[in-house]
Structure 1
Amino acid sequence: MKKSLIAVAVLGAMSSAAFAQSNVTIYGILDAGIVSERGGAAGTTTKVTSGAASASRIGFKGTEDLGGGLSAIFKLETGARIDTGALDNTNNVLFNREAYVGLSSKTAGTLTLGRQYTPYYETLRDVGDPFAMGYAGTAKNLFPVASFMTRNDNAVVYKTPNLQGFTGAVSYSLGETAGDTTANRQVGASLGYNNGPLNVAVAYNSKNNDTATVKTNGIGHNALIAANYDFKVVKVFGAYSKDKGLNSAPLNGPATAYSTTPFIASKDSSDALLGLTAPVGDTAGTVMASYIRKDDKEFNRDADQWAIGYSYALSKRTSTYVAYAKIKNKNGAGYTVGNNSEGGTGDKAFNLGLKHSF
């Protein structure tokens, strides 16, 4: 009798474990290299830096099977500086990269709450930029993806399941301004189609710049279309963004890189990108190249960026890379060549580094 009761208890425990399966993964990226930046007012800067290709980080993510195709999910991710060992954050934010919890359904999609990427940023990174927002050639240098355009606090995000190649996302970031539900609010959305060699997507972002005390700052709007097509021997990329309103084009680099007089971001501009990636030799190597044009319709302070890079996979987890980019600023423009983790200090930069994922 006692043995029978023990067997029933064990089977019951195993059944509960099977129903509520959960797992937690610790992961990260260690990216360190040498960066040389030139052309700024401070002169040439050469340094060992962290995160030129991909921002160095450590993260925790997990799922719990709730049954019926529904799962609870979470993610906590913080940046790290490989050159100094310090946390790569601002304002003492521990999980500065992402921090969210939510529910995911195989048929209904995913709903998450917390600090998360904007649909605009994800569209440009995953579809439009051959450098995937990394290296000296990152689209961050000229496209409006700095600051709140990268991630939102207090965000509620819904992502659809893949429906025969179609996917969509909607993001609503609460401004949390007392007495005003619209001040500091941010809304974003994207719609994409990925099937075979074609990957195309559109995205939109709207940022209300009003504060608790100033109600006339207005709204910044951004509309983006991005695409890539894989011809096997080469993958071709393209992107175009229209940016209108206050804070519609936040600067990625310092406003005083070339002069003590701060460079002012445009409130009416557009950005265009053409690029490619191509496998080299045994396909472990990849060449990346792009051209980006910033058209400032407010001040006529335009800029052009040319970039080229090469990444070589030493294994599935480790790669080495080299990249170079140059910006030609016009009519007093002050854009800088940075990388995935830094805004840069001049109009040209060179990267040489090593990246390991775990």
Structure 2
Amino acid sequence: MKKTLITLAVLAAATGVAQAQSSVVIYGTVDAGFVSERGGKDGNVNKLDSGIASASRLGFKGTEDLGSGLSALFLLESGFNVDTGAQGTGEALFGRQAYVGLSSKTTGTLTLGRQYTPIYNTLSKVADPFAAGYSGSAKNLFPANTRTSNTVLYTSPSYNGFDGDVAYTFGENAASNKIGRKIGASVGYANGPLNARVAYSNTQNDTATTETGSARNWLAAANYDFAVAKAYVAYGVNKGLNSALRNNGNADSFSYVEALPSTDSTTALLGVTVPAGPAGTVMASYIHVNDKNAANADANQFALGYSYALSKRTSTYASYAKISNKNNAGYTVGNNSNVGTGDKAFSLGVRHSF
């Protein structure tokens, strides 16, 4: 009997150690609300929308401690629409993110699969007071370059506040390794109230029959927390064919013939978030697109939003944005998940995370 009890105790202890070394977490966000859009060629659009502040998602992530500061990790994330219960149109099962990799406390993290790009992380986490969501999303005017498949991403540890990452996306085309190839990188500094980052993206435009060069995007961004308010600033430079594709896919959204996407432009942002009591936050931003092509199709966006935390996981929000398109520019006011149909939009919704 004593030997049996000892054996059971050893097995229980061993099981506990194994569980402590490996973990899997189920997480997600459910976000829905009312959206009213104005100014498009189809007139006023009122709808129940999903993923306004943050895209609705269901994810699985896990880690396993391999010893000596090394661990294995994975993440699988699927998007869905709360208003219909369906996946996004044409979206793969784990179309938001799907990767596996290794992480070392001393040398950094290497992940393989479908992942966010360094320039998008800079835009959403450093540059934009709306965090790429709500009606005021910076994606309305900034080139998004959100995710890439077939990507190898290395992220360094933080050294005295400095860190960096570099990504390489395989085009996987038999005709040439250059076709569809993407390269991205960023370097940043975060210490106390300051968070600053510079990012670069290069997307090869070549096809099997033509050589058209690459789309090149640079983005410098910073935010500083003054306690009474957090200030945001960003400046992007976009060069080459497809460097300034509009977030709406350059759809014919208005009653005029829209200007072609610029091949030489800059995008600038000024923004702020202000605490409003113990649970509220006011967000505001101004974005300007300067098209340096002959069309001079500039655009400006002004946005205002408010979020109120009902708990650590649940918040309500309201937001409004207006775009002024110059010389037949065709930008639309969207949100985190949808591109919008007009040049003005108001949203009111609720978001819950688990």
Question: What is the TM-score when the length of structure 1 is the normalising length?
Answer: 0.94
TM-aligned CA deviation for residue 143 of structure 1:
0.3
Query: Whole-Å Cα distance in 1 between the matches of residues 326 and 120 of structure 2?
Result: 26
Moved more, 38-47 or 159-168: 159-168
TM-aligned CA deviation for residue 345 of structure 1:
0.6
Match for residue 209 of structure 2 among 206, 214, 220: 214
- Determine helix, strand or coil for the equivalent of 1:224: strand
TM-aligned CA deviation for residue 259 of structure 1:
3.4
Partner of 1:294: 289
Query: Whole-Å Cα distance in 2 between the matches of residues 61 and 134 of structure 1?
Result: 23
- Determine helix, strand or coil for the equivalent of 1:126: helix
Query: Whole-Å Cα distance in 2 between the matches of residues 260 and 58 of structure 1?
Result: 40
TM-aligned CA deviation for residue 276 of structure 1:
0.1
Match for residue 174 of structure 2 among 171, 178, 181: 178
Query: Whole-Å Cα distance in 2 between the matches of residues 263 and 24 of structure 1?
Result: 48
Contact kept in structure 2, 1:278 and 1:286, CA below 8 Å? yes
TM-aligned CA deviation for residue 3 of structure 1:
4.8
2:79 counterpart of 1:79: yes
Partner of 2:149: 153
Partner of 1:109: 108
Contact kept in structure 2, 1:243 and 1:268, CA below 8 Å? yes
2:254 counterpart of 1:258: yes
Task: From the superposition, tell whether residues 88 and 249 of structure 1 become closer, same or farther in structure 2 (CA, over 3 Å).
Answer: same
Contact kept in structure 2, 1:19 and 1:66, CA below 8 Å? no
Match for residue 279 of structure 1 among 268, 275, 279: 275
TM-aligned CA deviation for residue 207 of structure 1:
0.3
Query: Whole-Å Cα distance in 2 between the matches of residues 307 and 225 of structure 1?
Result: 21
Query: Whole-Å Cα distance in 1 between the matches of residues 198 and 344 of structure 2?
Result: 30
- Root mean square deviation of aligned Cα: 1.6
Partner of 2:263: 267
- Percent of aligned positions with the same letter in both sequences? 59
Partner of 1:36: 36
- Determine helix, strand or coil for the equivalent of 2:232: strand
2:225 counterpart of 1:230: yes
Paired residues, number? 351
Match for residue 204 of structure 1 among 191, 200, 205: 200
2:306 counterpart of 1:307: no
Partner of 1:95: 94
Contact kept in structure 2, 1:19 and 1:67, CA below 8 Å? no
2:314 counterpart of 1:318: yes
Contact kept in structure 1, 2:37 and 2:340, CA below 8 Å? yes
Task: From the superposition, tell whether residues 17 and 180 of structure 1 become closer, same or farther in structure 2 (CA, over 3 Å).
Answer: farther
- Determine helix, strand or coil for the equivalent of 1:127: helix
TM-aligned CA deviation for residue 17 of structure 1:
5.3
Q: Which runs of 5+ in 2 are unaligned?
A: none
Q: After superposition, give the CA deviation of every residue in 1:106-153 in whole Å (9 maximum; x if it has no partner).
A: 1111100000000000001110100000001000000000xxx10000
Question: What is the TM-score when the length of structure 2 is the normalising length?
Answer: 0.96
Partner of 1:25: 25
Moved more, 260-269 or 10-19: 10-19
Query: Whole-Å Cα distance in 2 between the matches of residues 256 and 18 of structure 1?
Result: 59
Contact kept in structure 1, 2:258 and 2:329, CA below 8 Å? no
Match for residue 234 of structure 2 among 204, 218, 239: 239
Task: From the superposition, tell whether residues 342 and 245 of structure 1 become closer, same or farther in structure 2 (CA, over 3 Å).
Answer: same
